[in-house]
Amino acid sequence: MKKFLVAGLGNIGFEYANTRHNIGFMVLDYLAEKAGVTFTVGRLGAVAEYRHKGRTFVLLKPSTYMNLSGKAIHYWLEKENIPLENLLVITDDINLEFGTLRIKPKGSDGGHNGLKNIQAIVGSTEYPRLRFGIGGDFRKGGQVDYVLGEWTQEERTALPERLQKCMEAIQSFGTAGLGNTMTAYNGK
Protein backbone atom coordinates (compact mmCIF):
# COMPACT_ATOMS: atom_id res chain seq x y z
CA MET A 1 0.00 0.00 0.00
CA LYS A 2 1.38 3.39 -1.02
CA LYS A 3 2.13 5.62 1.98
CA PHE A 4 2.22 9.39 2.36
CA LEU A 5 3.27 11.66 5.22
CA VAL A 6 1.10 14.77 5.48
CA ALA A 7 2.67 17.21 7.94
CA GLY A 8 0.58 20.17 9.03
CA LEU A 9 2.72 22.91 10.52
CA GLY A 10 1.63 24.76 13.63
CA ASN A 11 2.47 25.43 17.25
CA ILE A 12 1.25 23.34 20.16
CA GLY A 13 -0.60 24.99 23.00
CA PHE A 14 -4.03 26.47 23.55
CA GLU A 15 -2.82 30.04 22.93
CA TYR A 16 -1.96 29.14 19.30
CA ALA A 17 -5.01 26.97 18.53
CA ASN A 18 -7.02 29.45 16.43
CA THR A 19 -4.18 31.45 14.92
CA ARG A 20 -3.34 31.87 11.25
CA HIS A 21 0.06 30.24 11.77
CA ASN A 22 -1.71 27.02 12.82
CA ILE A 23 -3.54 26.39 9.56
CA GLY A 24 -1.54 23.17 9.08
CA PHE A 25 -2.90 21.75 12.33
CA MET A 26 -6.41 22.97 11.46
CA VAL A 27 -6.36 21.22 8.07
CA LEU A 28 -5.31 17.92 9.64
CA ASP A 29 -7.83 18.24 12.48
CA TYR A 30 -10.56 18.82 9.91
CA LEU A 31 -9.48 15.82 7.81
CA ALA A 32 -9.21 13.55 10.86
CA GLU A 33 -12.69 14.57 12.05
CA LYS A 34 -14.24 13.94 8.61
CA ALA A 35 -12.42 10.59 8.31
CA GLY A 36 -13.28 9.49 11.84
CA VAL A 37 -9.66 9.00 12.90
CA THR A 38 -8.05 10.31 16.06
CA PHE A 39 -4.59 11.60 16.81
CA THR A 40 -2.40 9.88 19.37
CA VAL A 41 0.64 11.45 20.92
CA GLY A 42 3.74 9.89 19.41
CA ARG A 43 7.39 10.75 19.27
CA LEU A 44 7.84 14.43 18.32
CA GLY A 45 4.18 14.91 17.41
CA ALA A 46 0.55 13.85 17.30
CA VAL A 47 -0.10 11.22 14.64
CA ALA A 48 -3.17 9.69 12.99
CA GLU A 49 -3.41 7.16 10.19
CA TYR A 50 -6.01 7.59 7.49
CA ARG A 51 -6.78 5.25 4.60
CA HIS A 52 -8.35 6.48 1.36
CA LYS A 53 -8.70 4.61 -1.95
CA GLY A 54 -5.92 2.12 -1.24
CA ARG A 55 -3.53 4.74 0.10
CA THR A 56 -2.30 5.28 3.64
CA PHE A 57 -1.88 8.84 4.87
CA VAL A 58 0.15 9.35 8.04
CA LEU A 59 -1.06 12.69 9.42
CA LEU A 60 1.51 14.50 11.56
CA LYS A 61 1.18 17.55 13.77
CA PRO A 62 4.74 18.15 15.03
CA SER A 63 5.04 18.92 18.75
CA THR A 64 8.43 20.56 18.21
CA TYR A 65 7.00 24.04 17.56
CA MET A 66 6.95 25.51 14.08
CA ASN A 67 10.62 26.50 13.84
CA LEU A 68 11.83 22.95 14.59
CA SER A 69 9.34 21.04 12.43
CA GLY A 70 12.10 19.34 10.43
CA LYS A 71 13.09 17.10 13.32
CA ALA A 72 9.61 15.55 13.59
CA ILE A 73 9.15 15.25 9.84
CA HIS A 74 12.53 13.57 9.38
CA TYR A 75 11.79 11.11 12.19
CA TRP A 76 8.38 10.08 10.79
CA LEU A 77 9.62 9.83 7.20
CA GLU A 78 12.26 7.35 8.40
CA LYS A 79 10.04 5.49 10.87
CA GLU A 80 7.30 4.94 8.26
CA ASN A 81 9.80 4.43 5.40
CA ILE A 82 8.18 7.14 3.29
CA PRO A 83 10.14 8.70 0.39
CA LEU A 84 10.55 12.49 0.32
CA GLU A 85 8.35 12.84 -2.78
CA ASN A 86 5.46 11.34 -0.74
CA LEU A 87 5.74 14.09 1.89
CA LEU A 88 3.22 16.94 1.78
CA VAL A 89 3.85 19.88 4.11
CA ILE A 90 0.93 22.20 4.84
CA THR A 91 1.82 25.72 5.85
CA ASP A 92 0.50 29.27 5.99
CA ASP A 93 1.58 31.87 3.41
CA ILE A 94 1.24 35.65 3.88
CA ASN A 95 1.98 36.22 0.18
CA LEU A 96 -1.29 34.59 -0.90
CA GLU A 97 -4.79 36.03 -0.48
CA PHE A 98 -6.81 34.44 2.31
CA GLY A 99 -7.92 30.92 1.41
CA THR A 100 -5.91 30.63 -1.82
CA LEU A 101 -4.20 27.25 -2.20
CA ARG A 102 -0.81 26.84 -3.88
CA ILE A 103 0.65 23.36 -4.26
CA LYS A 104 4.23 23.06 -5.47
CA PRO A 105 6.62 20.13 -5.93
CA LYS A 106 9.54 22.05 -4.37
CA GLY A 107 10.67 25.57 -3.58
CA SER A 108 12.44 27.92 -1.25
CA ASP A 109 11.40 28.50 2.34
CA GLY A 110 10.05 31.93 1.36
CA GLY A 111 11.16 33.28 4.74
CA HIS A 112 9.03 30.69 6.57
CA ASN A 113 10.99 29.37 9.56
CA GLY A 114 9.21 26.01 9.60
CA LEU A 115 10.13 25.34 5.96
CA LYS A 116 13.67 26.63 6.60
CA ASN A 117 14.13 24.05 9.36
CA ILE A 118 12.66 21.20 7.27
CA GLN A 119 15.06 22.06 4.44
CA ALA A 120 18.03 22.10 6.83
CA ILE A 121 17.16 18.73 8.41
CA VAL A 122 15.99 16.73 5.38
CA GLY A 123 18.73 18.33 3.29
CA SER A 124 16.50 19.25 0.37
CA THR A 125 13.97 21.75 -0.96
CA GLU A 126 12.54 19.02 -3.22
CA TYR A 127 9.42 18.03 -1.31
CA PRO A 128 5.81 18.93 -2.09
CA ARG A 129 4.06 21.60 -0.07
CA LEU A 130 0.56 22.99 0.14
CA ARG A 131 0.59 26.67 1.02
CA PHE A 132 -2.62 28.12 2.44
CA GLY A 133 -3.00 31.86 1.90
CA ILE A 134 -3.58 33.85 5.07
CA GLY A 135 -3.24 37.25 3.37
CA GLY A 136 -0.84 39.98 4.32
CA ASP A 137 -3.12 42.64 5.77
CA PHE A 138 -0.78 43.96 8.46
CA ARG A 139 1.12 47.17 9.08
CA LYS A 140 4.87 47.35 8.64
CA GLY A 141 6.54 45.53 11.51
CA GLY A 142 3.29 43.78 12.43
CA GLN A 143 3.90 40.47 10.69
CA VAL A 144 4.46 38.38 13.84
CA ASP A 145 1.32 39.72 15.54
CA TYR A 146 -0.70 39.12 12.37
CA VAL A 147 0.52 35.57 11.78
CA LEU A 148 0.08 34.64 15.44
CA GLY A 149 -3.24 36.49 15.55
CA GLU A 150 -6.67 34.87 15.45
CA TRP A 151 -8.83 34.71 12.33
CA THR A 152 -11.33 37.49 11.69
CA GLN A 153 -15.03 36.64 11.87
CA GLU A 154 -15.23 36.75 8.08
CA GLU A 155 -12.27 34.35 7.75
CA ARG A 156 -13.74 31.98 10.37
CA THR A 157 -16.98 31.84 8.38
CA ALA A 158 -15.07 30.96 5.18
CA LEU A 159 -12.71 28.43 6.78
CA PRO A 160 -14.86 25.25 6.67
CA GLU A 161 -15.18 25.40 2.88
CA ARG A 162 -11.44 26.14 2.53
CA LEU A 163 -10.57 23.25 4.88
CA GLN A 164 -12.76 20.95 2.76
CA LYS A 165 -10.78 22.02 -0.35
CA CYS A 166 -7.52 21.26 1.46
CA MET A 167 -8.80 17.80 2.41
CA GLU A 168 -9.74 17.13 -1.22
CA ALA A 169 -6.31 18.35 -2.39
CA ILE A 170 -4.54 16.00 0.09
CA GLN A 171 -6.62 13.05 -1.12
CA SER A 172 -5.90 14.01 -4.74
CA PHE A 173 -2.16 14.23 -4.00
CA GLY A 174 -2.20 10.61 -2.86
CA THR A 175 -4.50 9.21 -5.54
CA ALA A 176 -4.20 11.40 -8.67
CA GLY A 177 -0.60 12.55 -8.17
CA LEU A 178 1.08 15.91 -7.68
CA GLY A 179 0.70 17.24 -11.24
CA ASN A 180 -3.05 16.59 -11.45
CA THR A 181 -3.54 18.02 -7.96
CA MET A 182 -1.68 21.22 -8.85
CA THR A 183 -3.85 21.63 -11.97
CA ALA A 184 -7.08 21.01 -10.03
CA TYR A 185 -6.40 23.08 -6.89
CA ASN A 186 -3.78 25.79 -7.46
CA GLY A 187 -5.21 29.28 -7.13
CA LYS A 188 -8.58 27.87 -6.06
Order of strands across the sheet that contains 87-93: 40-42, 45-52, 55-62, 2-8, 87-93, 129-133, 101-104
Residue 112: active-site member:
no
Per annotation, catalytic residue among 21, 52, 74, 112: 21
Question: 146-165 burial, b for 16+ CB within 10 Å, e for fewer?
Answer: bbeeebeeeeeeebeebbeb
E strand or H helix that includes residue 78: helix 69-79
Are the C-beta atoms of residues 103 and 129 closer than 8 Å to each other?
Answer: yes
- Cα 85 to Cα 9, 21, 50, 58, 169: the distances in Å are 18, 24, 18, 14, 16
What whole-number distance in Å separates Cα of residue 143 and Cα of residue 125?
24
Q: What radius of gyration, in Å, describes the C-alpha atoms of the chain?
A: 15
The type of residue at 146 is Y
Catalytically active residues are 21
